[in-house]
Amino acid sequence: MDVQAVVDWFDANARDLAWRAPGTTGWGVLVSEIMLQQTPVARVEPIWLTWMARWPVPSALAAESQGEVVRAWGKLGYPRRALRLHAAAGVIAADHGDVVPADVDTLLALPGIGAYTARAVAAFAYGLRAPVVDTNVRRVVARSVHGAGEAGPPSTTRDLADVDALLPADHATAARASAALMELGAVVCTARSPRCVDCPVLSTCAWQRAGRPAYTGPSKAPQRFAGTDRQVRGLLLDVLRGSAEPAAKSRLDLVWADSGQRDRCLDSLLVDGLVEQTADGLFALPGEH
DNA sequence: TATTCGTGGCA
DNA sequence: TTGCCAAGAAT
């Protein structure tokens, strides 16, 4: 595919996202990438702005209690991300001079940072050539290169190689291309109702040339939520987020009727370190009592 | 490799 | 109304 065409399109059409503002630090990029995992841009932006004002450097976040960080995470979802980011900030402050590393392998060693986030930070914060593979890029490659309606099951090794083959040699342009491919998937080459009329690589798209065939690969497991432990954990944690003082179990019991599931979920929150029990048997966010 | 882990908007 | 989807990581 013609990656340069995507970069040119990006130059003219990039969204004006808060973390793309000139002067955003590696820390700012890292926080944005963690928050954006499985979470829409619109929900992240206000929280990110709050965090940057409150904790402008890793050591500032690391000095905060876990509970306060979980509370400030609000309803972004997957609150273990907040705990892991807090832990990563501690390592960055202690071992890396309070500066987010630029090296992919060093980033990968930090809690909560995986194959995507490590390369996203290297590319977007430091302008390095690193194949950034997220759900958007996987879809763009599946369509424009492989002619498939959507990406098949992820394979880090194969996905990285696919994107690596597309990136130009020099760091700055490659980093720009990584951002451009993601943006194309997020704005034009979307999962449903792709806006192909606006696509900068329409003329060379393998999926388009094949007549936009429907996806034929294995179907992904349906993503349920209602009635799951995820929902119950969310309800339990929401009580503690909204409470300045530790709460009695009787208060937590109100959020879900099934006591077996309720207790199992509370226990898993304790195991995860998202909730702590005080000496007098009450429940609270960690480190706040 | 397949599951688990929140939350909410939208077609 | 409800299933699908949203810049994944850890296990």
pLDDT of chain A, 289 residues: tens digit per residue:
999 999 999 999 999 999 999 999 999 999 999 999 999 999 999 999 999 999 999 999 999 999 999 999 999 999 999 999 999 999 999 999 999 999 999 999 999 999 999 999 999 999 999 999 999 999 999 999 999 999 999 999 999 999 999 999 999 999 999 999 999 999 999 999 999 999 999 999 999 999 999 998 888 888 899 999 999 999 999 999 999 999 999 999 999 999 999 999 999 999 999 999 999 999 999 987 7
Check whether residue A142 and residue A116 sit in a common domain: no
A219 occurs within a structural domain:
no
The protein footprint on chain C, as nucleotides within 7 A of a CB, is: 3-10
**C-alpha to C-alpha distance for A145 and A78, rounded to whole angstroms:** 33
Q: For chain B, which bases have at least one atom within 7 A of a protein Cβ?
A: 1-8, 11
Residues facing strand C, Cβ within 7 A: A 17, 19-20, 32-33, 36-41, 78, 84, 111-118, 120, 134-136, 139, 182-183, 185-186, 190-192, 220, 222-223, 225
Same domain for A73 and A102: yes
Q: How far is the CA of A197 from the C1' of C11 (A)?
A: 42
| d(CA A200, C1' C10) / Å | 36
Which nucleotide is closest to A234, CA to C1'? B6
The four Cα atoms A139, A177, A34, A86 give a dihedral, to 10 degrees, of 150
- With respect to residue A153, please indicate whether it lies within any of the assigned structural domains: yes
A192 and A249 assigned to the same domain? no
Q: How far is CA A234 from CA A11, A80, A240, A241, A258, in A?
A: 40, 11, 10, 10, 15
Protein CA at A23 to nucleotide C1' at B2, angstroms: 40
Asked if the structure places residue A81 within a domain, the reply is: yes
CA of A277 to C1' of C5 (A): 36
Q: Are residues A177 and A233 in the same domain?
A: no
- Closest nucleotide to A78 by C1' from CA: B6
The domain boundary residue, chosen from A156, A176, A209: A209
Asked if residue A216 is part of any domain, the answer here is no
In a domain, A223, yes or no: no
Q: Which residue, A100, A126, A152, sits at the end of a domain? A: A126
> A112 lies in a domain?
yes
Tell whether A122 and A139 lie within a shared domain.
no
* Cα(A259)–Cα(A254) distance, integer angstroms: 10
pLDDT value, residue A167: 98
Termini Cα distance of chain A: 56
**A194-200, long-range: CB < 8 A, 24+ apart:** A194/A143, A200/A2, A200/A5, A200/A6, A200/A8, A200/A9
Q: Considering only CA atoms, which of A128, A125, A117, A132 is closest in space to residue A178?
A: A132
Scan for tokens 């998202």, then name that residue. Answer: A274
CATH number at residue A101: 1.10.340.30
Does residue A35 sit within a domain?
A: yes
When divided into structural domains, chain A yields a total of 3
Q: List the domain range (segments joined by +) for residue A26.
A: 3-126
Same domain, A28 and A118: yes
Are A81 and A152 members of one domain?
no
Query: Looking at the structure, do residues A190 and A254 belong to the same domain, yes or no?
Result: no
Whether A215 is in a domain gets the answer no
A235 touches strand B (CB under 7 A): yes
Residues A92, A167 within the same domain: no
Rounded (5°) CA angle A259-A264-A270: 125
Q: Of A126, A160, A190, which residue constitutes the final position of a domain?
A: A126
Residue indicated by tokens 């907040």: A82
With distances taken from each CA to the C1' atom of nucleotide B3, the closest residue turns out to be: A221
- Which protein residue's Cα is closest to nucleotide B4 at C1'? A230
Q: What is the C-alpha R_g of chain A? A: 21
Q: Are residues A55 and A112 in the same domain?
A: yes
Whether residue A122 is found in the same domain as residue A53 = yes
Positive/negative CA dihedral, A27, A31, A34, A37: negative
